[in-house]
Amino acid sequence: MSAEEIFEQRMRLGRLFDIYGGLLTEKQRTCLGLYFYDDLSLSEISEELGVSRQAVHDLLKRVEQILERYETTLGVLAKEEALHEELHRVKELLAPCDRAKNDEAAGILDKLCGESR
């Protein structure tokens, strides 16, 4: 697996965690939080939680599978990505029109697309 694919997979897992994290157990949320938000290594997390490095690795893999199952069943991330693509498409369609009339619409679309964050 290339570095880019690993990065994409990690980003996807982080987005799934943001969406479905509330459905995980406290221990699962804590472990993933330390991994993503605090950017701790498996060894650092194992010290923090008082478990083996292998236990942390296994927990992270299990949680990744759980989050993917939630996404397969509920599809929240897929719907969010589809909406984002459609909003960008609308924005592109507005671009060649009279800018004076579309400034407000473009501003709203920028906000909805998350580009004004």
Q: What percent of the chain has pLDDT over 70?
A: 91
Amino acid at 32: L
List the domain boundaries for the chain: 3-74, 78-113
pLDDT tens by residue, 31-63: 999 998 899 999 999 999 999 999 999 999 999
pLDDT tens by residue, 67-84: 999 999 999 999 999 888
Give the pLDDT confidence score for residue 40 in this predicted structure.
Answer: 94
Whole-prediction pTM: 0.77
19: helix, coil or strand? helix
CA nearest neighbour of 70 among 22, 27, 37, 109: 22
Residue 25: C-alpha distances to residues 6, 33, 63, 72 (Å): 25, 12, 10, 19
Give the pLDDT confidence score for residue 84 in this predicted structure.
Answer: 86
Classify 3-74 by CATH class.
Answer: mainly alpha
